[in-house]
Amino acid sequence: MRLRHTAAAVLGALALVVTQSASASAATGDFSYRFVGLDGTPQSATFHDPQGPGCVVLPEVADPASSEPAFAPHNDTDEWVVVFTAPDCTGDSWTLRPHGRPATDRLTLRSVFLTGRK
């Protein structure tokens, strides 16, 4: 009888751990990009351990009427990332693999989707 109770407790604890780790959906690592600031100087921004899956509009370049797009994204996270040329994850897109090399300045973006695939 004790063996059954012990086995049930172990299985219950294991199910709880698996459920908790599956619900956590943050990437590990950094996603960074460069952009031109309001004063015309080049700047960079980094998301540390970004949450996902979901779309993120880059705040510095969200309005196409008043800003140039961001450029040179670098996905140094453990998740696949899709970058988009327009806000709200629309427009042309490119997929960046986990822990990839920095993209060139020619790759522009205004929004990012962290896919949640590993």
Task: Please state the domain extents for the chain.
Answer: 29-114
Handedness of CA 105, 108, 111, 117 (dihedral sign): negative
pTM score, whole prediction: 0.76
Residues 31-72 pLDDT 10s: 999 999 989 999 999 999 998 899 999 999 999 999 999 999
Q: DSSP labels for 11-66?
A: HHHHHHHHHHHHH--B-SEEEEEEEE-TTS-EEEEEEES-B-SEEEE-GGG--TTT
Q: What number does CATH give the domain 29-114?
A: 2.60.20.10
The residue type of 71 is F
pLDDT of residue 105: 96
**Selected residue with higher pLDDT from 63 and 14:** 63
pLDDT of residue 16: 37
- Quick one: pLDDT band at residue 117, thresholds 50, 70, 90? low
